[in-house]
Amino acid sequence: MRTNWKHNELIVIFILTVTIFLAVFVWGLGLFTDIEEEPYVSEETDRIVVGVSQLGSESGWRTANTESVQSVFTTENGYFLLFSNARQKQENQIKAIRSFISQRVDYIVFAPVVENGWRTVLQEAKEAGIPVIMMDRKVEAADQDLCVSWVGTDSRQEGVKAGRWLEGHLRKEGVTEEEDVNIVVLTGTEGASSAIGRSMGFAEVAHKHANWKILEEKCADFTSAKGKEVMAGFLRKYSDIDVVVSQNDDMTFGAIEAIREAGRTVGVYGEISIISFDAVHDALEMVADGTINVDIECNPNQGEYLSQVISMLEKGQEVEKDYYVEEDIFTIDNVTEEVLQERNY
Ligand code: AHR
């Protein structure tokens, strides 16, 4: 009797074990199916799904650029936006783009932190049939064909404008071609197309003037903290700086702090002339009061243009390879109260 009972116990234990094993197996299968199917985007069939990879949030300009994109790719406008901030790291942008591809978005928009190193991931997007649009910065020329279009600013031209302004300024000040003009340049992120373009454009003008001495160009990463640090280093090294070319407003804010802490003066009424780029609100206030001599605008409002490119592509229309946003130059003569009021970034 006792032996029979033991036998039955064993059968019950066996059946229970098999049932639990099968249940876990079936549940596991369900889980894996969910991951592979990525139901997230397929639920969004009636809206245009756009994956945006922003390079970071290093400057006031970048924040405005992000806001411009986020204010356009909204539900009310018929979009579903997947937004990713790469925090200045190319590897994070590549990861984000791969995730957009696996989620089968309709379009990928990205601001490449640097020019090089995109070929593989852009080819993957192309093979998946997803159009990629660059914004703000560009990838290297050889890979631009892997993107359908670009919306941004003409950074080389911005550099040329800075050089031309300096030509006019020196002429007005009566500085002859025989007198040395000592210049230092704070450059943006190494390898970024906007930094490369601005350096190139300024150098084009500088090369025409044998008396313009570029003492040094150094990367300050488009940030205020780095701008201050690099400028303090320049001031320790060179006692005779006449002009600072700072490739964005954030670096300029830091550089001005360093100059003042070194007991020197800046701007229209000071010893060191300041050339800046971006023209965000706080910098324009400093142009108006003479602290910054000139600010070459870099327009961050690119969202509307991007949405127009996408709606053309949706209609099967041909799009241009490049769309340039409008840009101005600001000096003490044209920063009016109205300009300041309108500048909301
Ligand atoms: O690429 C555009 C530049 O990037 C802007 O001048 C700068 O502020 C930003 O960080």
| Ligand 1 atom with the shortest distance to the CA of 249 | 8
6 CA to centre of ligand 1 in angstroms: 78
Convert the pLDDT of each residue in 241-266 to its tens digit: 999 999 999 999 999 999 999 999 99
Q: 153 or 26: whose pLDDT is higher?
A: 153
Whose CA is closest to atom 3 on ligand 1? Answer: 194
Give me the sign of the Cα torsion angle 14, 18, 24, 27: negative
**Share of residues in the chain with pLDDT > 70 (%):** 90
Convert the pLDDT of each residue in 64-118 to its tens digit: 999 999 999 999 999 999 999 999 999 999 999 999 999 999 999 999 999 999 9
201 CA to centre of ligand 1 in angstroms: 16
248 CA to centre of ligand 1 in angstroms: 6
- Bridge-based pairing state of the strands 243-246 and 212-219: unpaired
Convert the pLDDT of each residue in 195-229 to its tens digit: 999 999 999 999 999 999 999 999 999 999 999 99
Distance CA 313, CA 307 (A): 10
Confidence tier at 41 by pLDDT (50, 70, 90): low
178 CA to centre of ligand 1 in angstroms: 35
What pLDDT shows up at residue 4? 56
Q: What is the mean pLDDT of the chain?
A: 92
138 CA to centre of ligand 1 in angstroms: 12
Q: What SS3 state is found at 17?
A: helix
What pLDDT shows up at residue 295? 98
Contact (CB, 8 A) for 53 and 86: yes
Convert the pLDDT of each residue in 313-322 to its tens digit: 999 999 999 9
**Share of residues in the chain with pLDDT > 90 (%):** 87
Pocket residues: Cβ below 6 A from ligand 1: 58-59, 61-62, 136-137, 188, 194, 222, 248, 277-278, 298
283 CA to centre of ligand 1 in angstroms: 14
Mutate to test the pocket of ligand 1, among 57, 61, 150, 295 (most ligand atoms within 8 A of CB): 61
Which of 189, 187, 190, 208 is closest to 199 using CA atoms? 187
| Ligand 1 atom with the shortest distance to the CA of 278 | 6
What pLDDT shows up at residue 36? 37
Distance CA 75, CA 47 (A): 8
Instruction: Look up the pTM and report it.
Output: 0.87
Contacts of 53 (CB under 8 A, 6+ apart): 84, 86, 93, 96, 97, 100, 108, 109, 110, 111
Q: 236 or 2: whose pLDDT is higher?
A: 236
